[in-house]
């Protein structure tokens, strides 16, 4: 059976629902966090016939996503508001054919909206997804406090040790996030350098953890992308529950983790 083509309405509805999850988890304080969805599979009839044809320059040429459209959260807007009024707190943009700028296709609200300040990172990651040829179309950034707390521990600011801990706290973490997380040392938010390092971290992972800042994840739809972050934070929570009880968690052995890696889930 052929996979159903998502509609623009269904995508916006799902993003709004997940935005509520992020707020409820305490991962989206004030205007923290951002989500973007590539709309390349959405029928053209779903888009408005007329839109703002003003080119807004991009800091870098986004050639891999030239001509594509995205539903993306707006800068300085809150996830808790997005959950209730998505089109007043997000917008649809289209990258120009030369990849040098974007046009605003649609938004509703009393003021002009602009995409998240992490737009450069989002477009760089969507470009990576296009080059990888996967079915992923969602990029999600949030401040998952449990994962951020891990990066406050110097010894865990290391990709190998970080993944061993996360996989070791619960077997399903290895089953559901078999490639683990990529680690990105601290870089000033909103910069091209951060986007470049995030792309590097996501070349072999679907989740990148930014030191002392937050997490980026990619997935086929908003719910499954959220699930990746949710699963990883469970492992982090188990670790901190043990530590708060005065126990150094034993974790799964290397052999047990390797055994889980052989299971096709």
| Residue 217, phi-psi category: left (phi > 0), alpha (psi -120 to 50), beta (remainder) | beta
The total of structural domains in the chain comes to 2
Lowest mean per-residue pLDDT among 53-62, 64-73, 74-83, 120-129: 53-62
Residues 152, 129 share a domain? no
- CATH code at 18? 3.40.225.10
pLDDT at position 107? 59
| Same domain assignment for residues 104 and 208 | no
Ranked by mean pLDDT, which of 100-114, 117-131, 165-179 comes out on top? 165-179
One domain for residues 194 and 245: yes
Domain residue limits at 242: 144-265
Domain end (from 117, 142, 167): 142
Q: What is the pLDDT of residue 110?
A: 56
User: Are 162 and 261 in the same domain?
Assistant: yes
Q: Are residues 134 and 149 in the same domain?
A: no
Is 118 considered catalytic here?
yes
DSSP state of 221: S
| Percent of the chain as helix, strand, coil, to the nearest 5 | 40, 15, 40
The dihedrals phi and psi of 262, each to the nearest 5 degrees, come to -90, -10
Q: Which of 89, 118, 142 is the last residue of a domain?
A: 142
Mean pLDDT of 51-74: 89
Identify the domain boundary among 113, 142, 171. 142
pLDDT at 50 over 70: no
Q: Is the pLDDT of residue 27 over 90?
A: yes
Q: Tell whether 100 and 154 lie within a shared domain.
A: no
Q: How confident is the model at residue 106 (pLDDT cuts 50, 70, 90)?
A: confident
pLDDT band, residue 2 (cuts 50/70/90): very low
My answer on whether 128 and 153 are in the same domain is: no
Catalytic residue among 14, 118, 146, 197: 118
What percentage of the chain exceeds 70 in pLDDT?
94
Its pTM stands at 0.93
């Amino acid at each position: 059976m052929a996979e159903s083509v998502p509609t623009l309405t269904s995508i916006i509805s799902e993003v709004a629902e997940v935005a509520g999850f992020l707020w409820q988890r305490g991962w989206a304080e004030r205007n923290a966090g951002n989500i973007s969805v590539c709309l390349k599979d959405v029928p053209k009839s779903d888009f408005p016939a007329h839109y703002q044809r003003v080119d807004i320059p991009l800091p870098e040429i986004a050639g891999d996503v030239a001509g594509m459209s995205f539903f993306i959260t707006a800068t300085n807007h809150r996830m808790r508001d997005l959950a209730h009024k998505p089109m007043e707190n997000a917008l649809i943009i289209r990258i120009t054919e030369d990849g040098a700028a974007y046009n605003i296709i649609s938004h509703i609200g009393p003021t002009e909206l602009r995409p998240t300040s992490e737009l450069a990172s989002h477009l760089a990651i969507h470009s990576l997804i296009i080059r990888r040829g996967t079915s992923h179309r969602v990029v999600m950034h949030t401040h998952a406090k449990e994962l951020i707390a891990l990066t406050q521990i110097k010894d865990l600011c290391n990709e190998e040790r970080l993944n061993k801990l996360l996989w070791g706290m619960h077997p399903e973490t290895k089953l559901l996030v078999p490639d683990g997380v990529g680690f990105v040392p601290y870089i000033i938010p909103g910069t091209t350098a951060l986007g470049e390092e995030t792309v590097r971290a996501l070349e072999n992972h679907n989740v990148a953890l930014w030191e002392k800042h937050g997490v980026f994840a990619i997935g086929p739809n908003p719910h499954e992308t959220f699930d990746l972050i949710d699963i990883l934070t469970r492992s982090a929570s188990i670790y901190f529950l043990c530590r708060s009880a005065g126990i150094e968690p034993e974790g799964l052995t290397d052999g047990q983790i390797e055994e889980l890696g052989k299971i096709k889930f």
